[in-house]
Chain A
């Protein structure tokens, strides 16, 4: 099993992370121990229902673990105070279903997270424009999500996830709803952005072709990590 360097340098350190649903009848995570170093590209693979999404949600503080400990950059997440601010500034989240807000245009969607910053209205707009340019959508600024293709929607979502300069990107099957052409496009974009912006990337997928691009592959089964391998072929 791969274990990156000492505790203090970890972005995430999970110890016995457990998550139960429905009053303990569903055990989505059964004691997960992992450490993830800054700048890593980790792919999480495993069958459907193995707890991949649940793990990602714990890391992104979208929900509380039932038991166990989760540390972010050395400090327990529970001690991180305002989790909203953690979600807003530290983490970028990308969903399989995109989850853009349907009543807002592309450029407005990208501005939504920036309400939690001190940027002015014009700064927000300017930055959203730059981000959309970064994902190649400068000619789709004022389109509503319903007028965008799946690939375009996911690129807007990527721009949104980077709006507040997250240092960790959590992507839950980001290409799962896309055809292979768009899947490649979106994945290449994520990989390119990671290279440029040096964020830590944790990506859930069941596409082994995608997983091979990661530096490390964590395999889950029944709420446990069953394999954790460094990928020597990757960059």
Chain B
């Protein structure tokens, strides 16, 4: 018998209570994994989306909304002469309710701009020209909307034919409805307005020069800010709120887990008072009692943490398949997040065990052994 046996015996003596406590932590940790994984996934999905488009800088005004504010298309003309600027592509992008879905990326792109070039036709064709009243769908968007080439898609007030299905190489691209800029401007009543400029710099531009260019553009164009692609989402107010909310909710869930473990460990210390006194009477050091209680609660945390990570992963996988957010993001469940979630659970366990352990170490061996 090892000391570990003593720990497991302490946990298995009340299997139902131990199980429920573990479930309690597991749910908290699952919430951490799901919420943080999704909010970070939102960020990384946009970053990879930008990268596959070949965008280095994004000029937009994220403000406090989830989508950037429109500004005059003439801003492009002020940016193109700047050093290091190789190419620009003006866009009008919006999150819109399209037919049966609640939220879908609708992306109107300057005809001939480089953001069209990474789209690979899987079925059908691209629009003939900027004037053709038609859309192409990213492959996920097509699945979610249940459309194939030849169907029509209701966008605002107009029925537009779906002429092609494309693979954009990234989740935000594949989840988008894509059409030419002037058409979307007209449909949404935003004539002459854009809200994003994707900017590509000349090869060999350093990160330092990229930052300088950002500053230059932001100074030159008061309507918008230039941010290195991928960072623009993280910078946005809306995303900050999402992130704060996901951490806040996670924290609450973890707090509930803490209370659960603390309650369980206190109960176990109370009901084992006599046994703890016996252990002290036969010579166990107080530090060993403390270690026993802390290891028991750490074990609760560890098992709950591992369980929570598994539940979280499964939960997120299910969640991103739901029509509401399908195609909007790919969860970011990197090993670091999963490990920190387990780590948080173990810390929660140890922390919750501190007071019960302290209580048990204060016992006098004779206390429960009279007679």
Chain A interface (Cβ within 8 Å of chain B)? 53, 57, 60, 62-63, 82, 84-89, 91, 93, 95-97, 99, 101-104, 107-108, 111-113, 115-116, 121, 124-125, 160-161, 163-164, 172-173
Contact = CB atoms under 8 A, between A and B. Distances in A.
Interface of B is mostly: helix
Interface string B2-13: 110110011011
Contacts of A96: 371
A116 B284 contact: yes
Given A116-B283, A125-B1, A63 B365 contact: yes
Contact of B281 (A87, A97, A163): A87
Given A53-B371, A116-B283, 17 more contacts: A62-B366, A63-B366, A84-B283, A84-B285, A85-B283, A87-B282, A93-B281, A95-B371, A99-B278, A102-B275, A103-B10, A103-B12, A103-B13, A104-B1, A115-B6, A121-B2, A172-B371
Interface in B203-246: none
Interface in B336-371: 364-366, 369-371
A115 B364 contact: no
B282 A112 contact: yes
A97 B277 CA distance: 13
Contact of B279 (A103, A112, A164): A112
Contact of B283 (A87, A103, A104, A107): A87
28 contacts: A53-B370, A53-B371, A62-B364, A62-B366, A62-B369, A63-B365, A63-B366, A84-B284, A84-B285, A85-B283, A87-B281, A87-B283, A88-B282, A89-B283, A91-B283, A93-B282, A97-B371, A99-B281, A99-B369, A101-B279, A102-B275, A103-B9, A108-B1, A115-B288, A160-B282, A163-B282, A164-B283, A173-B371
Contacts of B148: none
B145 interface: no
Contacts of B133: none
User: Which 3 residue pairs are nearest across A and B when measured between Cβ atoms?
Assistant: A88-B283, A63-B366, A62-B366
Contacts of A113: 282-284
Nearest to A98: B278
Contacts of A97: 371
B1 A121 contact: yes
Given A82-B285, A103-B10, A104-B9, A111 B1 contact: yes
Contacts, number: 82
Interface of B: 1-3, 5-6, 9-10, 12-13, 274-275, 278-286, 288, 364-366, 369-371
Nearest to A91: B283
Contacts of A102: 275
A62 B6 CA distance: 23
A63 B365 CA distance: 7
Contacts of A163: 282
A203 B274 CA distance: 22
A89 B364 CA distance: 18
Contacts of B6: 112, 115
A57 B371 CA distance: 10
B123 to A, nearest CB: 65
A87 B13 CA distance: 27
Nearest to A177: B371
B160 to A, nearest CB: 71
Contacts of B5: 108
Given A53-B371, A63-B366, A121-B2, A101 B283 contact: no
A160 B365 CA distance: 17
A163 B364 CA distance: 22
B35 to A, nearest CB: 38
A179 B366 CA distance: 26
Contacts of A95: 369, 371
Contacts of B283: 84-89, 91, 113, 116, 164
A57 B364 CA distance: 11
B11 to A, nearest CB: 10
B80 to A, nearest CB: 76
B82 to A, nearest CB: 73
B174 to A, nearest CB: 56
B276 to A, nearest CB: 10
Most-contacted residue by chain A among B1, B3, B13, B371 (CB, 10 A): B1
Nearest to B275: A101
Nearest to B365: A62
A84 B281 CA distance: 8
Nearest to B368: A99
A166 B283 CA distance: 11
A68 to B, nearest CB: 16
A133 to B, nearest CB: 18
Nearest to B12: A103
B278 A115 contact: no
A101 B2 CA distance: 15
Contacts of B365: 62-63, 87
B128 to A, nearest CB: 78
